[in-house]
Copies of this chain bind each other. A is one copy, B any other.
Amino acid sequence: MAGGIHCGIKASQRTAGPRKKDLALIYSRNVCSAAAVFTNNRVKAASVLVSRENIKDGILQAVIANSGNANACTGARGMKAALRMAELAALEMSISPSSVAVASTGVIGVPLPIDKIENSVSALKASLKGDERGHSDALEAIMTTDTRKKDIAVEIEIDGKAVRIGAMVKGSGMIHPDMATMLCFITTDASIDSVLLDRALRRAVKNSFNRLTVDGDTSTNDMVLIMANGGADSARIVSVESGGEGRNSYDIFYDALEYVCVELARRTARDGEGAAKLVTVTVSGAESEDSAVSLAKSVASSNLVKAACFGADANWGRVLCAMGYAGTAFNSEKVNVSFKSGAGEIEVCSDGQAAAFDEAKAKEILLQEEIEILVKLQDGTGSASVWGCDLTYDYVKINGDYRS
């Protein structure tokens, strides 16, 4: 079940219309196996510290999350507020505070107005719904500069039973690989051991959210969290090994989870702050997969490449330049680069040098909303995709005056 309300943390309403939701609750009647990946920023929000502690036993039953305030760089007072958030949700739902995860997102360094949450927690409980509406309210309540709702649900079959995985994500700026990247809450009615759930989540995040970059800034608050409540009555997944013939349950579950994470990572890049375009960088033929990821990230993170994508400028030299400072070896004389989109595909660099290409066609390809930069190397069989976005006037506008 999920719900979301306005409790008053998101302050000023500049425009008329309904007040923006800023407090969300996700709750399961059953105790859940749970796992999470947290930001690796050394400055961690109080919510991250509390959630990391509460998930240690692999068990959760609820997540309480607010937007409009990151509760980071807020000292002992912030820590107290985060613990109180867990306690308030626990009291309201009659569960243990240690089975509640806490998440916050918003401005850093402003004390969290915990009294507003205290005053609204019964209303928050009352907003819980088991249907699409409750899910949607919760998602709205964790959004900040996001311009779209980013959620997904899939259904798979495990041992003849229908199992569902649903997920919501918020994230638009302060997004860069090698961290948990944003708030993402995933729920499933699968039954799975928490150690296996942790293993599946870490691998899925590595292949999805950690291959995502919007602006190179790693946030203080981010987490990807999954709760599995076993409500589907499917056989419990307790091993990665197959119990019999065909694909085993763990693999079926993992594939669906990775699909969910990759899809949300792509949508997060597409909804990057100010982004006009989704830019997917795929490197193949690299020495290893790690090497492909490193090269692709360097290209997708380059402000110059991002600005060229915005301007639909087929400036492939910047792609090679960004690969050159990735810190990964590659044979720069055996690099082919193509641009691809719904409007076609065009090779712009062959064996590390300019290919003869039609500039007008390249421009047409780069004017599309979803662009692929395909880099082919001849160093091995490693390949990987990284998702990013273009750098636009709106990114500067949004971030030039975020607080006021």
Contact = CB atoms under 8 A, between A and B. Distances in A.
Interface string A313-339: 111111011111110011011000000
Contacts of A42: 323-326, 329-330, 332
B307 A396 contact: yes
Contact of A400 (B109, B310, B317, B329): B310
A326 B44 CA distance: 13
A73 B317 contact: yes
Interface string A364-404: 00000000000000000000000000011101111111111
A109 B215 contact: no
Interface stretch (A186-194, A245-253, A351-359): A351-359
A349 B303 contact: no
A400 B308 contact: yes
Interface in A21-55: 40-44
Interface in A104-126: 107-111
Contacts of A321: 41, 43, 72, 108, 174, 217-220
Shortest 10 CB-CB contacts between residues of A and residues of B: A108-B317, A311-B400, A43-B324, A307-B399, A41-B324, A218-B325, A109-B317, A311-B401, A42-B324, A215-B303
Contacts of A66: none
Given A217-B321, A391-B396, A402 B315 contact: yes
Given A42-B323, A43-B332, A315-B402, 13 more contacts: A41-B325, A43-B324, A73-B353, A75-B333, A109-B353, A110-B354, A216-B216, A217-B322, A218-B321, A307-B399, A311-B399, A311-B402, A313-B404
A72 B321 CA distance: 9
A179 interface: yes
Contacts of A100: none
A74 interface: yes
A112 to B, nearest CB: 12
Number of chain copies forming the complex: 2
B311 A107 contact: no
A401 B182 CA distance: 32
Nearest to A176: B325
Interface bin, chain A = 35 or more
A4 interface: no
Contacts of A399: 303-304, 307-308, 311, 391
Given A216-B216, A216-B303, A308-B400, A354 B73 contact: yes
Given A311-B400, A317-B108, A354-B110, A302 B216 contact: yes
A44 to B, nearest CB: 8
A173 interface: yes
Given A216-B216, A216-B303, A325-B42, A111 B396 contact: no
B396 A310 contact: yes
